[in-house]
Amino acid sequence: MLCKDQKEILIGKLATLFTGVTVNDIDEVVDVIKTRLTDEAKEAKNRELLETFDGQVKILIDKGYPEAAGIYKDWFLEEYINPLRYEFETGDIIVIPERIVSIHKQMSLVKLKNKTGLQHPCINLGMLQQADGVETPNVPYLIHDVENGVATKNVSFSNCVKLFKKQGRFGLVPEEGIAIVTHKPEMFNNRYIYLLGSRFVSGSVPGLYLNDNGGLELDYVWPDSTNSKWGSASCGSRIRP
């Protein structure tokens, strides 16, 4: 805290500095400073977003997604990934659809706890289809406002469908579940997520879980199952420029 003499000296300096300055001048300067601070904050946020986006892109490259798609890396980036750059928002996750890289191949590219992902031997991916009313882009896209299923623990699939419709949310498909584990493995903390955006012909629902060996496995669950520990993952929107 300034002593009395220091305050008097400071007041004198400020009085000299502001000689001829009006209240309007001060208000204008304050507005300019606020604008600069706001712009700097926006720039910092944009840098952070782009760094996060580039981090996800690096993961895809390092895991060999261009090779899995059968195209050169530069083409993969230019044609599929770069258009997403300026649509990317906080919490978004890049998804590579089945048409570009098969679900089977994507599972083999997942590493969780140093174990390669796999699909349950009884699963026939040829019998997998999107649920009624579900549409996903056939080129890479973003999922926004992702929830990993914790919010729907012990809620039946039929009730989840009704809930998502009411909330304007969307049950995820396997490629989106794989994307969560690929880019944000910390979200896979409930050990099993149901993927209501897809169904097998039998009506069963695909899901991702940690098997007895601690590795990620794509499995299925019978229709309208419930579990007090696990729930159905969802997103707020799917974004493609």
Nearest CA to 238 out of 134, 82, 156, 148 is that of 134
pLDDT tens-digit profile of 54-77?
999 999 999 999 999 999 999 999
- Judged by average pLDDT, the poorest of 26-35, 128-137, 202-211, 214-223 is 26-35
* Separation between Cα atoms, residue 96 and residue 139, nearest integer Å: 7
Q: In angstroms, how far is CA 77 from the centroid of its own chain?
A: 19
Q: Which residues does 228 contact at the CB level (< 8 Å), separation at least 6? A: 153, 154
- List of long-range contacts for 64-70, beta carbons under 8 Å, 24+ apart: 64/109, 65/96, 65/101, 65/109, 68/101, 68/105, 68/106, 68/109, 69/96, 69/100, 69/101
- Residue 61, amino acid: I
The answer to whether residues 233 and 171 touch, using CB atoms and an 8 Å cutoff, is yes
Please, what's the largest Cα pairwise distance for the chain? 86
pLDDT tens-digit profile of 148-178?
999 999 999 999 999 999 999 999 999 999 9
Q: What pTM was estimated for this model as a whole? A: 0.81
Q: Is residue 240 predicted with pLDDT exceeding 50? A: yes
* Separation between Cα atoms, residue 156 and residue 147, nearest integer Å: 17
DSSP string, 82-124: GGGGGG--TT-EEE--TTTS-HHHHHHH-EETTEE-EE-TT--
The residues spanned by each domain of the chain are 92-239
Nearest CA to 233 out of 49, 75, 95 is that of 95
